Structure formats: structure tokens, C-alpha cells
Amino acid sequence: MIPAAPLRILVTGGSGFVGATLVRRLVTAGHSVRVFDNCSTGDPSYLAGVDVELVKGDIRDPAALQAALTGMQSVVHLAAAGSVVESVADPVANFDVNVVGTFRVLDAARQAGVERVVLASTGGALIGDATPPVNERSVPKPISPYGASKLAGEGYAHAFAKAYGLGTVALRFANVYGPWSAHKRAAAITNFFQAIHTGEPIVIYGDGSASRDYTHVEDISRAIELALTRVVPGGTVLHIASGVETTVTQLADLCRISAGRPDHPVEYRPARVGDVGRNFASYDLARQVLGYAPTINREDGLRSTWQWFAESVFRA
């Protein structure tokens, strides 16, 4: 591991879904954490009771970033426009947040003398349609503006590593699920659980054969912490996944079982533009480089996620 002492870490988008779990993990491990977030999709209440400094600001604002980076050693860049569907509807807004915003974060980190920047990237949307399992040698051919924006961010991260010696690590997340995800309206699991709760049919776009790799947010957060603390060459790209392929129909069945409603109705609609077909990833390189391996299987993870929704969202 890199430091024996705790790190001072800036987490962009830290009041969002992944941030809510990651920040708790980092604080529990003894690190000093500052969250930088414009709270457009995240919620400061997600961090209630956590010993963390919250600075409100936008990643596209160089002055605000420079101030937030004062005294920081590392950055975890989570802030993003994360919807494939919304990126197709408004590619300009997606580019502004994901490409311009990521460039601003990298450039501010370079100027601040930050040692490590861990970026949240994506696997399926970035690679596009390819025969799974995909890995770091798969040729990226994104089919949505969102996937293209994440590829651009990885490109800048690699360039900053080679041109300036910035210690960048891009982690290609599988489809993340778990607690604190109620605001992720575009996420399948959130939509499926919401439909079950309200009694509406679960909606599947396409014939249900499209597949994804669903990885629990606790495993994603552990991988981020490893990327902050292990010796990793700048410019590294790693897939963080479960290695398990789950079709949308299988996911709907698992969600219905987790909620105790195996006969809840399912409705099929036409496939959407920009959605990848089959996708799941190999995490072999992440295992070699970080010592990462998933610890939460999909059945246990979905059961606990439904319980969180039932207790924290649907009961509210």
C-alpha cells in the first residue's frame, strides 16, 4: 500500500449513490474526506452523521475546484451525468459534465500537486457491443454519447499520467446497485423495485435477453479504496465487476423473488437507442493489480437492497 498514514481525499459527487457508501468506508478507515458536490442529483442527507466536510461547487468551475483541492493528496472523481438515455436526448449536456468536467478535475489536480486521481468510468457503455466477457484489451466502440464521454475521460486521464506524471487510475464500473440508489431513476433495479412497490408492471425494454454485470456498491467502494492505497502505475485502467452475466429477464425475476412477489407482472417494450446488448466483464486484471474480488453475490445483494428500499424509501 502507498501510505502508512491516513490520506486526505477529495471526493467529487460524494453525496451521491456510490459516494454515500464510499465516504463512509473511507472515514471508517481513518482517512480525512472532503466532498465536493453541486448536489444536483446527490443529497447531503446521505452523509448525515458522517465526519466529512461538504463543499458545494461544480466540477466545471476551476476556481471552486482549486479551493476544494487545497491540502488534498488524492481525488476520487465520481461526479458525472450518468444516464445513457439522457445522453442520447441531450449529448451537449452530457459532454459538458463528463468531458469538460473531468478535464477540469484532472487539470486542477495537476496544478494542486495531487498524488492520485481515481476516476469512475464504465464498462458496457464504453466498450459498446462486444462479445463478453469484456476486459481491458477489448476495443472501445461506444454506441451512446455517455459511453463516448467516459472514453474521452479515460483518454485525458492517460494523457495527464504520461505528460505530467499524475497518478491516474480509471475504474470501469459494472452496473452498480445497493443502498442510497433511490434517486437513480434510470437504473433498472431502482425501477424494478419501485414498480413492485407501487403495483405497476416491471417494464423491460427489448426482449429481455440483454445482459449486464451487476456489482454491489460495497464491492465498488472497496475497489476504489484499493486503487487509492495500492501502488498502481499512472494511466492504469481496470474493470471492476462481478464477472457474472445477468439478463434483464433474470434480473426482473431476482428482484421479484427478493421482494417476495415472484408473480409480479412484467411488461416488454421496444428496445431503446444506445443500450448495449450482452455485457459482463472479467476482473482478472483488477485482481492482479489491486487484489480485488467481489464479495457480495447478486442474490444476497438484491435481497439486502430491497430491504433498504423497503425500510428507507417506501416506508417514508
pLDDT in tens, 148-163: 999 999 999 999 999 9
* DSSP 3-state of 141: coil
Joined grid coordinates for residue 316: 417514508
pLDDT band at residue 5 under the 50/70/90 scheme: confident
Q: Output the pTM of the full model.
A: 0.95
The cell numbers describing 6, all together, are 491516513
- Does residue 274 carry a pLDDT above 80? yes
| Annotated catalytic residue 146 | yes
Angle, vertex CA 50, rays to CA 302 and CA 215, nearest 5 = 25
Q: How big is the chain, counted in residues?
A: 316
Report residue 54 CA to chain centroid gap: 20
Residue of 146, 156, 177, 283 with catalytic role: 146
Superfamily covering domain 8-177+216-241+281-295:
NAD(P)-binding Rossmann-like Domain (3.40.50.720)
The tens digit of pLDDT for each residue in 184-218 reads: 888 999 999 999 999 999 999 999 999 999 999 99
Q: Any residues with CB less than 8 A from the CB of 239 and at least 6 apart, and which? A: 123, 134, 135, 136, 171, 172, 174, 281, 282, 283, 285, 286
pLDDT tens string 223-247: 999 999 999 999 999 999 999 999 9
Phi, psi of 105 (to 5 degrees): -65, -45
